[in-house]
């Protein structure tokens, strides 16, 4: 994403918690900041890409955090997948400095970024979102505005809930096929080429018909997002539904109980 922004001609400053993350940009036009606060001071728009809710707080808050350095009128776009309440909490703190916040979680991974086809799900003030659109457009298409602050996170969390459920349904089907004498790898290959295919099934095929290779990469993240989905549903007073039951199958298989 950073490389696409740089190649799009936007003046770019980078900061990362791991120095190794900045090494690929040594030969580019991007500048580097020594702290999140310095990054904030250098930026009109800060695009934040970290793992979880506490990581967002770590980077944004405190004397060395992004908010400490940002100027009035700046914008923070939270690309991380976090609870919508976290985004609203950040927005309240940012408003005290005259800084705007939108949530803009992404889906599609590295190949989509390279093609400029990442999906960005935006929640927040539409005018602020439109100000960000030219930057997002360097790496994303479509860019979908979904409603008020937090809407992007709810949508991304539901996306990941369904992906997890699809993993669970695929694993259950492969186990059934094995019990009926159909080789697991062959069944996965056939299903992935037919009407029952899904991105989740495709991921299972890549790892030889199991989630053993996928679990270390995505297991903890999916567990986080299913947990967030459950708390959002509970807070809204709506039933979880079958999708949670099927998602739990995948989490248990990956040894991540909800």
Q: Which residues are catalytic?
A: 156
**Nearest-CA neighbor of 47 among 147, 154, 137?**
137
Question: What Cα–Cα distance (Å) separates residue 172 from each residue in 6, 201, 216, 219, 243?
Answer: 44, 11, 20, 17, 14
Helix axes 220-236, 242-253, angle to 10 degrees: 160
237, burial (CB in 10 Å: exposed 0-12, middle 13-18, buried 19+): exposed
201-226 residues labelled b (16+ CB within 10 A) or e (exposed): bebbbeeebbbeebbeebbeebbbbb
Q: Which residues pair with 14 in a beta bridge?
A: 32
Neighbour tally for 163: CB within 10 Å: 21
Rounded Cα–Cα distance for residues 129 and 227 (Å): 28
User: CB–CB of 148/102 below 8 Å?
Assistant: no
């Amino acid at each position: 994403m950073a490389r696409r922004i740089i190649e799009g001609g936007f003046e770019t400053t980078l900061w990362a918690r791991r120095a190794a993350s900045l090494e690929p940009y040594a030969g580019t036009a991007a500048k580097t900041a020594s702290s999140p606060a310095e990054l904030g001071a250098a930026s009109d728009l800060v695009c934040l890409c970290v793992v979880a809710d506490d990581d967002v707080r770590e980077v944004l808050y405190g004397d060395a955090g992004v908010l400490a350095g940002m100027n009035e009128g700046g914008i923070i776009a939270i690309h991380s997948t976090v609870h919508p309440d976290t985004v609203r909490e950040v927005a309240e703190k940012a408003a005290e400095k005259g800084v705007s916040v939108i949530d803009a979680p992404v889906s599609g991974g590295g190949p989509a970024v390279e093609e400029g086809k990442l999906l960005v799900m935006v929640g927040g003030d539409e005018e602020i979102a439109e100000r960000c659109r030219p930057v997002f457009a360097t790496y994303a298409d479509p860019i979908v505005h979904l409603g008020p602050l937090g809407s992007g996170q709810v949508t991304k969390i539901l996306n990941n809930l369904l992906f997890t459920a699809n993993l669970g349904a695929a694993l259950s089907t492969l186990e059934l096929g094995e019990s009926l004498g159909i080789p697991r790898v062959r069944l996965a290959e056939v299903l992935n080429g037919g009407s029952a295919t899904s991105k989740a099934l495709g991921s299972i095929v890549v790892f030889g018909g199991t989630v053993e290779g996928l679990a270390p990469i995505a297991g903890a993240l999916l567990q986080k997002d299913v947990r967030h989905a459950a708390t959002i549903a509970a807070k809204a007073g709506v039933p979880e539904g079958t999708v949670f039951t099927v998602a739990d199958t995948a989490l248990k298989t990956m040894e991540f109980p909800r």
